Amino acid sequence: MPKKMHIELTVNGKSHEFLAEPRELLIHTLRERLNLTGPHIGCETSHCGACTVIVNGKSVKSCTMFVAQANGADLTTIEGLGTPDAPHVLQTAFREHHGLQCGFCTPGMITRASKLLEENPNPTEEEIRFGMAGNLCRCTGYQNIVKSILAAASELNAAKEAAE
């Protein structure tokens, strides 16, 4: 048996400690060990972005990171962004603007978009298309995803202004 490692992760504000083989992929840790099934396994080859999570402030494809690399890291998954009762602004915007059809790519889309808006709160349509280029959708044709993110940006900026 390969040697197991002691791993510590903070996921959506909650600490986890466990033993795992270093080769365990982060997406498998999240889905199978921590039962966070929001991040999806799409292509498994770092192309599609369905497994996107935030690791220490970076958007990362969790199919292309070993759990050993993430040891000690702070992670956010779609489950940490919003809940059915208190959805994230992006989740509401995707629903209102038909930013999804089958929904498979949506957790990755929204997790990536949340980071994009954090780095660039006023993106142009072109900047959204460029910033979302690591996430593939096979249903929507992207138009409504872009619209959803633009709408969420306006909403977040209006909320920020109101607070000031």
Partner 1 sequence: MIPAAFDYYRPKDMGGVIALLQEHGDDARVMAGGHSLIPMMKLRMAEIAHLIDLQDVAGLDGITVEGGRITLGAMVTQHQIIDSAALLAAAPILREAALQIADPQVRYMGTVGGNVANGDPGNDMPGLMQCLDATFTLVGPDGSREVAARSFYHAAYMTDRDDSEVLTSVSFAAPRGGYAYEKQKRKIGDYATAAAAVQIEKNGDVCASASIAMTNLSDTPVWSKAASAALVGTTVDDAAIAAAVAAMQADIEPVEDNRGPAAFKRHAAATVLTRAIRRAWDRA
Give residue 119's identity as a one-letter amino acid code.
E
Rule CB under 8 A: which of 94-153 touch partner 1? 112, 116, 130-134
**33 near partner 1, judged by CB under 8 A:** no
Whose tokens are 């962004």? That residue is 81
CB of 158 to partner 1, least distance (A): 26
Span from 18-26, 74-82, 91-99, 144-152 in contact with partner 1 (CB under 8 A): 18-26
Among 49, 80, 99, 107, binds partner 1 (CB under 8 A): 49
Beta strand pairing status for 14-20 and 5-11? antiparallel
- Spatial contact of 106 and 99, defined as CB atoms under 8 Å apart: yes
5 is an interface residue for partner 1 by CB under 8 A: yes
Task: Please report whether residue 52 would count as binding partner 1 according to CB under 8 A.
Answer: yes
What is the Cα–Cα distance from 87 to 141, expressed in whole angstroms?
A: 24
Minimum distance from residue 19 beta carbon to partner 1 (Å): 13
Q: Report, in this order, helix, strand and coil percent for the chain, each rounded to 5.
A: 40, 15, 40
- For residue 2, how far is the Cα from the chain centroid? 31
Please report, as ranges, the residues that interact with partner 1 according to CB under 8 A.
2-3, 5, 21-23, 25, 44-47, 49, 52, 58-61, 64-66, 68-69, 71, 112, 116, 130-134
